[in-house]
Amino acid sequence: PWGIHAGGAQIPYGPASDGTSFLGRATRGAGVGSQIGAQDFEIRFTEAATNGNTPKGWRAFQDGAVMNVPFEVWNIGVGTPNNTADDIRLVPAILDNQDQMVFDMGGDHAISGGANDPATDWIYFYHPDADGDGNDDTTPGQAGYESFMFGPGDVHTEVFARLVFVCFNCGTAPPYPQGKHPDVGSVWRITTLKPNNDGDVFTLNTGAYDSDGDGTPEALGAEPKDYTGADSEELLAGIGVSPNPYKGASAYEKSQLIDEVRFTGLPETATIRIFTLNGTLIRTLEKAGPGRTLPWDLTTNNQLPIASGMYLVHVELPGGLEKVIKFAVIKKRVHLNVF
């Protein structure tokens, strides 16, 4: 019947700034030195620690006394949930709602509409600072925890606040049949999403790109495919100019002063030559790379804008394939409204 939530929360989830949700109550320190999102954590229910001492909690918000609790709190690092060698034991601070020096359940939690879902005392996670240097301890083990509970040590970063265990449909008043807390031996693991950190390396492998669209990825650096038979007919039929005719503008243009059309349906390698009707070559474009389109700004090889009229586009592909496209252009009249 047990679940985990935040004490005082009224709604299940929400922004961290609203103060009424799990995020608003439990992650109040996130972003200010918080370990949330950088580490994972466990709450381990046990009656006695491995060193023979009963686990302790710190009544930080009442009298600062140390009380017995039935669990241990650990920072288990990143990506090593089954390797305890790098775990760091944290200091649990307890808001003892019944003020009886006992970790038990109090009133109903608002997470449900019923009145029979009691919640435990509130738990806060703190990283120990055994040497008092103002930094979190990073040495694995429980020396920092022991220094705080039994010696001169201190605490530093608050990780989570106000966590409670909620028992659904467990009664409206003690004694509760299932006990005062989750069973001894149960482990609650909190796994958080991780940010990118210095030293992270991402490798992108583009060697499996299907450049010619035949359904078979080419190896990186492979030679362009030669098309034959039905493949060549299908490829040539798909090559065109967009828009055609060009009527003063296209959807590709981002400025009134820049014209643009695109040659579409192209393979990885192609040579495109644009001629006037009298056979004068005005522009040559080379395509060598992935993608199926190639832009043209309607200028000549000398970067002069072309005039309105009819043009012939000659597309040459590997293997001797060719296609000729008639292309019509109606240029727009430019009106400058900014001087």
What is the residue whose two structure tokens read 């439990």? Answer: 26
pLDDT of residue 250: 87
H or E element that contains 315: strand 309-317
Q: In this predicted model, which residue has the larger pLDDT, 226 or 174?
A: 174
> Quick one: pLDDT band at residue 338, thresholds 50, 70, 90?
low
C-alpha closest to that of 127 among 237, 216, 41 = 41
Q: Under a CB-based contact definition with an 8 Å cutoff, are residues 105 and 174 in contact?
A: yes
Tens digit of pLDDT for each residue in 47-66?
A: 765 455 789 999 999 999 99
Q: What is the pLDDT of residue 297?
A: 92
**Residue 177 pLDDT > 90, yes or no?**
no
pLDDT higher than 90, residue 112: no
**CA–CA dist 330, 322 (Å, integer):** 26
Separation of first and last alpha carbons in the chain:
73
Q: What is the mean pLDDT of residues 260-288?
A: 92
**pLDDT given at position 202:** 76
pLDDT, average across residues 168-190? 89
* Ordered DSSP codes for 211-223: TT-SSSPPPTTPP
Q: What mean pLDDT is predicted for residues 207-216?
A: 58
Specify the range with the lowest mean pLDDT, choosing from 25-34, 167-176, 316-325. 25-34
Q: What is the pLDDT of residues 145-157, one digit of tens each?
A: 999 998 888 998 8
Answer whether residue 86 shows pLDDT above 50. Answer: yes
Which one-letter DSSP state was computed for residue 67? E
**Residue-level pLDDT at 220:** 47
At 192, the pLDDT band (50, 70, 90 cuts) reads confident
What is the mean predicted confidence (pLDDT) over 17-29? 83
- Looking at the chain, the whole-number percentage of residues with pLDDT higher than 70 is 86
- pLDDT, residue 208, reads 53
Q: State residue 106's pLDDT score.
A: 85
Give the pLDDT confidence score for residue 311 in this predicted structure: 95
Locate 164 and state its tokens.
């409670």
**Across 224-247, average pLDDT:** 80
* Residue type present at position 284: T
Letter string b/e over residues 266-297, b meaning 16 or more CB atoms within 10 A of that residue's CB: bbbbbebebbeeeeeeebebebeeeebebebe
pLDDT at 205: 63
Q: How confident is the model at residue 32 (pLDDT cuts 50, 70, 90)?
A: very low
**pTM of the entire predicted model:** 0.58
Q: What is the DSSP string of 97-125?
A: TT-SSS--EEEE-TTSSSS--EEE-EEEE
Q: What is the reported pLDDT for 87?
A: 94
Query: For residue range 134-143, what is the model confidence (pLDDT) as tens digits?
Result: 888 889 999 9
Residue 320, phi then psi, degrees to nearest 5 = 80, 10
What's the CA dihedral at 180, 183, 186, 188 to 10 degrees? -20
Average pLDDT over all residues of the chain: 84
Residue 44 is predicted with a pLDDT of 95
